[in-house]
C-alpha cells in the first residue's frame, strides 16, 4: 500500500475563480467564498473518504510585485493574494472529520520558535493529534521585509536557520517530561514543577529560555514536513522530517530520490522507514482514457496562451526569490543569455525549468516546461490507479501528493472516482488504524 496527500497549493487563499482567466468551468463560488470554511471542510471530508493521510496547506505572506516591478498582475489575476493565515482553518477542517491530518505551512522567519511551538501544540490538542507542520524558509525579499528584514537571507543560510529553529521548537515541545501533569484535584496538585524544565537555548539565530507554557499534545512533537530538494533542503529533511514532498518526473526518478534520501536519513542516525516521501503529481482523470488524453492535450496547448505565459513568467519571477524580473526579459530571448545566478529562491525549481534548454527561447521554455509533473497519470480512474501502482512498485514507496486546482469537481473525481479503483487493487488503506497523524503515517 502507499500513502496519499493533497497539496492545497493556493493555501487559505483565492482558488480558481474565473473562467476568463483560464481557470476552467468548475470554479463554483470560489470568487466570493474562498475566505469561508465551506470548501475546505468539503475537501477534508472528501479526502478522508478517500483514505488520504493529510492535506498540506501552502502559505505565503506578501503581495508579490517582482514581476514587471508591480503588484498589478498578482492582484488583477489573484495570484498568491489575497490569502488568509492557515492556522485558524485547521480546527474547522478536523472538527468535521475523524482521521485525516492537516499540515499548515509555517515559515521560520515569520514565527519565532516559541510562538510556533505553542501554536502547534495548541492545534495538536484541538485536533486530537492530527496536525503536522510544513516547515519552510520563505522565498522572497518581500516576505522578509514584512517581518523586519531588509533582504532575505541567502539560500543556504536560510536552511541553517531553519534547522536551528526546529531544534528550539522540539526542545520546547519536550520541556514537559512524562508524568509532569498530575491533575489530582484531591491533592490540589496540577503539575510537578520538577518535571517542567527551561530549555536555556542559545544559538546563532535564536535564544529561548522556555519552558513551553502548555502541556504536551497527543503527539508531543508535531510531525515535520518539508519540500526542499536542494542539498541543504535534503539535509534538513534527513535530520527532521516525518514526511517529505518531492517533485520528480517518473518512477525511476522517484526511486533515485527516495534511495538518496533514505541513505541520508540512515547517516543521520534515524530509521528511514519512519519518513514517508510523497511525490507531487497533477493527474488528468476522466471517464475514459480517450477523454482524459483529450483534456491533457488541451491543457498542453493552453500553456502557449498569453494568459498561461503571463502566469509562468510571473511564477518564475517569484520562484527566483524576486531577484529576477522575467517580465522585463523579452520572451524571445535565448535562455542561455539570461543570467540566472542572481536568484535567491527555489534553486532546484529554477534549475530544472531551464537546465538543458539554453538554446531555446524564454517563450518556448515557459510554454512547454512546468514545475509540477503529471508522472504519466493520464487516463480513466482504472488506468491511473494501475499506473500509480506501477510507479510505486518501481520507486519502492511511499506515496503521492496530488496538486490539482481546488474545485469540488476535482475533489469528487479523486474521492469517488480514483480512490475506489485504488482500493479495489489493494493499493490504499481500507480504513484508518491510527488515531494521530504520526500513527497513520507509520501504519505501513
Q: Is residue 299 part of a domain?
A: no
Same-domain pairing of 359 and 378: no
Same-domain pairing of 233 and 165: yes
Range of lowest pLDDT (212-221, 265-274, 316-325): 316-325
The contacts of residue 1 (CB under 8 Å, 6+ apart) are: 426, 427, 428, 429, 444
**pLDDT, tens digit, for every residue of 141-174?**
999 999 999 999 999 999 999 999 999 999 999 9
Mean per-residue pLDDT for 203-211? 98
Task: State residue 370's pLDDT score.
Answer: 66
Domain limits for position 336: 304-368
Same-domain pairing of 187 and 246: yes
Look at residue 371 and tell me whether its pLDDT is greater than 80: no
pLDDT-based confidence at 293, cuts 50/70/90?
A: very high
> pTM of the prediction?
0.93
327 backbone φψ class: left, alpha, beta (φ>0; ψ -120 to 50): alpha
Q: Look over the chain and give the mean of its residue pLDDT values, rounded to a whole number.
A: 94
Of 368, 383, 413, which residue is a domain's last?
Answer: 368
Q: How many domains does the chain have?
A: 2
Same-domain pairing of 160 and 228: yes
pLDDT-based confidence at 73, cuts 50/70/90?
A: very high
The CATH number of the domain where 162 resides is what?
3.20.20.30
Report the distance separating Cα 153 and Cα 162, nearest Å. 11
Look at residue 137 and tell me whether its pLDDT is greater than 90: yes
The answer to whether the Cα torsion of 271, 175, 235, 372 is positive or negative is positive
pLDDT-based confidence at 339, cuts 50/70/90?
A: confident
Task: State residue 152's pLDDT score.
Answer: 92
Look at residue 65 and tell me whether its pLDDT is greater than 70: yes
Same-domain pairing of 381 and 338: no
Q: Is residue 408 part of a domain?
A: yes
Report the distance separating Cα 149 and Cα 62, nearest Å. 13
Q: Is residue 405 part of a domain?
A: yes
pLDDT-based confidence at 59, cuts 50/70/90?
A: very high
Same-domain pairing of 166 and 258: yes
Mean per-residue pLDDT for 203-214? 98
**pLDDT, tens digit, for every residue of 239-292?**
999 999 999 999 999 999 999 999 999 999 999 999 999 999 999 999 999 999
Q: Is residue 381 part of a domain?
A: yes
Of 368, 394, 418, which residue is a domain's last?
Answer: 368
Of 337, 368, 399, which residue is a domain's last?
Answer: 368
Look at residue 347 and tell me whether its pLDDT is greater than 70: no
Q: Is residue 340 part of a domain?
A: yes
Task: State residue 237's pLDDT score.
Answer: 98
Report the distance separating Cα 100 and Cα 130, nearest Å. 7
Same-domain pairing of 161 and 68: yes
pLDDT-based confidence at 319, cuts 50/70/90?
A: confident
Same-domain pairing of 60 and 21: yes
Mean per-residue pLDDT for 73-78? 95
Q: Is residue 339 part of a domain?
A: yes
Same-domain pairing of 248 and 326: no
Q: Is residue 358 part of a domain?
A: yes
Q: Is residue 295 part of a domain?
A: no
pLDDT-based confidence at 355, cuts 50/70/90?
A: confident
Same-domain pairing of 204 and 341: no
pLDDT-based confidence at 139, cuts 50/70/90?
A: confident
Same-domain pairing of 103 and 225: yes
Same-domain pairing of 358 and 380: no
Amino acid at each position: 500500500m502507499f500513502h496519499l496527500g493533497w497539496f492545497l497549493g493556493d493555501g487559505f487563499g483565492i482558488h480558481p475563480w474565473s473562467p476568463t482567466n483560464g481557470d476552467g468551468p468548475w470554479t463554483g463560488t470560489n470568487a466570493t467564498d474562498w475566505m469561508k470554511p465551506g470548501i475546505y471542510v468539503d475537501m477534508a471530508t472528501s479526502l478522508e473518504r478517500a483514505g488520504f493521510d493529510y492535506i498540506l496547506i501552502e502559505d505565503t505572506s506578501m503581495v508579490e510585485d517582482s514581476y514587471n516591478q508591480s503588484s498589478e498582475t498578482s492582484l488583477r489575476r489573484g495570484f498568491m493574494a489575497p490569502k488568509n493565515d492557515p492556522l485558524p482553518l485547521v480546527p474547522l477542517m478536523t472538527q468535521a472529520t475523524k482521521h485525516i491530518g492537516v499540515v499548515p505551512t509555517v515559515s521560520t522567519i515569520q514565527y519565532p520558535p516559541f510562538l510556533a511551538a505553542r501554536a502547534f501544540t495548541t492545534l495538536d490538542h484541538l485536533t486530537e493529534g492530527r496536525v503536522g507542520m510544513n516547515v519552510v524558509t520563505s522565498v522572497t525579499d518581500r516576505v522578509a521585509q514584512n517581518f523586519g528584514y531588509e533582504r532575505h537571507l541567502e539560500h543556504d543560510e536560510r536552511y541553517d536557520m531553519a534547522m536551528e529553529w526546529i531544534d528550539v521548537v522540539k526542545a520546547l515541545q519536550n520541556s514537559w517530561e512524562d508524568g509532569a501533569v498530575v491533575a489530582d484535584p484531591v491533592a490540589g496538585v496540577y503539575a510537578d514543577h520538577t518535571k517542567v524544565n527551561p530549555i536555556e537555548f542559545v544559538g546563532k539565530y535564536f535564544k529561548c529560555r522556555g519552558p513551553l507554557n502548555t502541556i504536551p499534545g497527543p503527539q508531543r512533537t508535531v510531525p515535520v514536513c518539508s519540500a526542499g530538494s536542494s542539498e541543504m533542503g535534503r539535509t534538513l529533511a534527513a535530520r527532521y522530517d516525518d514526511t517529505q514532498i518531492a517533485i520528480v518526473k517518473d518512477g525511476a526518478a522517484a526511486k533515485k530520490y527516495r534511495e538518496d534520501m533514505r541513505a541520508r536519513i540512515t547517516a543521520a542516525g534515524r530509521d528511514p522507514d519512519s519518513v514517508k516521501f510523497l511525490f507531487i503529481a497533477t493527474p488528468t482523470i476522466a471517464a475514459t482514457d480517450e477523454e482524459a488524453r483529450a483534456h491533457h492535450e488541451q491543457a498542453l496547448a493552453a500553456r502557449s496562451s498569453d494568459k498561461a505565459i503571463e502566469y509562468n513568467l510571473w511564477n518564475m519571477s517569484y520562484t527566483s526569490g524576486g531577484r529576477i524580473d522575467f517580465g522585463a526579459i523579452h520572451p524571445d530571448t535565448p535562455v542561455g543569455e539570461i543570467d540566472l545566478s542572481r536568484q535567491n529562491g527555489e534553486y532546484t525549481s529554477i534549475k530544472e525549468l531551464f537546465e538543458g534548454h539554453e538554446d531555446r527561447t524564454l517563450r518556448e521554455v515557459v510554454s512547454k516546461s512546468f514545475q509540477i509533473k503529471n508522472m504519466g497519470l493520464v487516463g480513466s480512474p482504472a488506468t491511473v490507479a494501475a499506473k500509480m501502482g506501477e510507479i510505486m512498485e518501481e520507486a519502492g514507496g511511499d506515496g503521492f501528493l496530488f496538486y490539482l486546482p481546488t474545485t469540488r469537481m476535482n475533489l469528487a473525481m479523486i474521492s469517488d472516482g480514483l480512490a475506489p479503483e485504488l482500493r479495489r487493487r489493494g493499493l490504499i488503506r481500507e480504513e484508518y488504524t491510527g488515531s494521530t497523524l504520526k500513527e497513520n503515517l507509520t501504519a505501513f
